Amino acid sequence: MAVINTVLLDFDGTVMDTNSVIIGSWQHTFRTIEGSERQVEEIVKTFGEPLDRTMAALFPDMDLDEAVSIYRSFHRDNFGEMIKLFPGVFELLKSLKGQGYKVGLVTSRLKATTMEGLEKYGIKEFFDTVVTADDTSRHKPDPEPVNIALNRLCSKPEESIMLGDTMHDVLCAKAAGVKSALVSWSLAVSEEERAGEGAPDFIIDEAEELMDILSRNS
């Protein structure tokens, strides 16, 4: 295995615990449009997908812009108060930068709320590049977002690893020729997927374990 010098991380469910605000935004949307909430498990299955794509699938007979507006109104008003860093993430990012790794964020979230989250918790400075849904025409699991990050960082796929919480992250990494690591605190990946044909190269239970993986490949 080539020496890893580049680490790419997903935002939602990996760096930032946004589960509550995402689930809350969807339930607000369902209450507004359908008059009742849906099962949380149904919402979790959409994690990692671009919002427009999910909305179009869930509400095919409704104006897409109107449905998205309902979701985003709740999301915007509650985002700052309902998000938090996962344990150990700040320390991981600090260690990565301190040891000279190139660090990128690759997310299907829009730029505005991504940057709001990074700035709120003082971690923006740890990232050498940030690739959001605003930067891509194709989204995870297509490799384009990762390829954009690698190009910006002048990094090679074989020298890179992607840390994420959904199969969209894992498949995106694999399609780009990048090693993949899945966080065990993911809500979106079943046990079968974690061990199946598209399984990640690594599964980590705590953020600091990524440094152990990197040290074994340096």
User: For the segment 4-44, what is each residue's pLDDT rounded down to a tens digit?
Assistant: 999 999 999 999 999 999 999 999 999 999 999 999 999 99
Contact assessment for residue 145 and residue 104, using Cβ atoms and an 8 Å cutoff: no
Contact assessment for residue 23 and residue 43, using Cβ atoms and an 8 Å cutoff: yes
Q: Do the bridges between strand 84-85 and strand 16-17 make them parallel or antiparallel, or are there none, so unpaired?
A: antiparallel
> At residue 107, does pLDDT exceed 70?
yes
Q: Considering the domain boundaries, does residue 75 fall inside one? A: yes
pLDDT, position 1:
58
Residues 112 and 59 in one domain: no
Q: Which of these three, 82, 108, 124, is where a domain ends?
A: 82
Residues 24 and 13 in one domain: no
Residues 10 and 25 in one domain: no
pLDDT, position 5:
97
Mean pLDDT, rounded, for 149-173? 96
Mean pLDDT, rounded, for 84-110? 96
Q: Give the chain's mean pLDDT.
A: 94
- Which structural domain, as residue segments, surrounds residue 35? 19-82
Residues 135 and 210 in one domain: yes
Angle at 173 (CA atoms; ends 171, 179), nearest 5 degrees: 120
Residues 52 and 102 in one domain: no
pLDDT, tens only, 197-213: 778 999 999 999 999 99
> At residue 91, does pLDDT exceed 80?
yes
Please give the backbone phi and psi of residue 37, each rounded to the nearest 5 degrees, phi first. Answer: -85, 165
Residues 70 and 109 in one domain: no
Residues 104 and 200 in one domain: yes
What is the tally of structural domains in the chain? 2
Residues 124 and 169 in one domain: yes
Residues 74 and 107 in one domain: no
Q: Which of these three, 41, 58, 82, is where a domain ends?
A: 82
**Residues 125, 196: Cα–Cα separation, whole Å:** 36
- Could you tell me the sign of the dihedral formed by the alpha carbons of 55, 110, 20, 189, in that order? positive
**Residues 180, 172: Cα–Cα separation, whole Å:** 9
Residues 105 and 192 in one domain: yes
Both tokens of 170, joined, read 């894992």
CA distances (Å), origin 91, targets 13, 21, 85, 186, 204? 17, 24, 11, 19, 15
Catalytic residues: 10
